[in-house]
Amino acid sequence: MKKFCSFFIVLGGFFVFGVQTFANEAHVHGVTNMNVTVEGGKVEIELKSPLANFISFEHEPETDAQKKEVRAMGETLRKADSLFLFPVEAGCKLEEVSLESGVIDDHLLNADASGHAPKTHGRHEGRGHADHGHSGKDEHGHADIEVEVSFMCRNPEKLTKLQVNMFSAFPSLHEIEVQMLTPAEQKAAELTPEANTITW
């Protein structure tokens, strides 16, 4: 059995060598990495994605049309409770959304559609701002956006499922590689428009 297993492991290796983790800093359009932490009733979701998955360009918005596009993206992402769905019985409430990109001005990114400046987005103690450099443009002119979302749930024991609706909101996105930390284990998942739910 052991030998049998090892054989398959090696075989498996050939198929999956290309799998990238969050931080190998791969920038593949259409694909994003997502880290999910479930701890008690608190759920934290971190996403670092190429900007191109959400808008049509990867640089500082120049024209009004581009600025409008950024605002629309910000608006969709801030309504994170319609992008990330938990079982109703878990009683989850969106706590905070923070968006950050090296090439887009914070005010524009966090402004609502009417152009108002953001109220708060202060969750970045510690590592937050040190990351600025990384979401900036790389040498090939690519840029990323970092999204951090947190939820608070009243019934942690019902918290066993997460449905991600980002694919319908952002058609350019077609795959999410998830690294997950549940109360019991570490878990991997690959979400696609056809299979957009993680259970644990």
Binding site for another protein (CB under 8 A): 1-2, 5-6, 8-13, 15-25, 35, 37, 39, 46, 127, 134, 179-181, 185-190
Taking the complex as a whole, the smallest distance from the CB of residue 134 to another protein amounts, in Å, to 8
CB of 59 to another protein, least distance (A): 23
The least CB distance from residue 41 to another protein, in Å, is 13
Q: How far is the CB of 187 from another protein (least distance, A)?
A: 6
Distances from the Cα of 4 to the Cα of 10, 15, 16, angstroms: 10, 17, 19
* Structural contact between residues 164 and 176, judged by C-beta atoms closer than 8 angstroms: yes
Cβ neighbours of 57 (radius 10 Å): 15
> Judged by CB, which is closer to another protein: 58, or 146?
146
Closer by beta carbon to another protein, 70 or else 176: 176
CA 96 to CA 109: how far, in whole Å? 15
Q: 149 vs 180, which CB is nearer to another protein?
A: 180
- For another protein, the closer of residues 85 and 181 by Cβ is 181
Q: Six-digit token pair at 197?
A: 């739910």
Q: Which residues contact 51 (CB under 8 A, 6 or more apart)?
A: 57, 58, 101, 103, 104, 142, 143, 144, 145
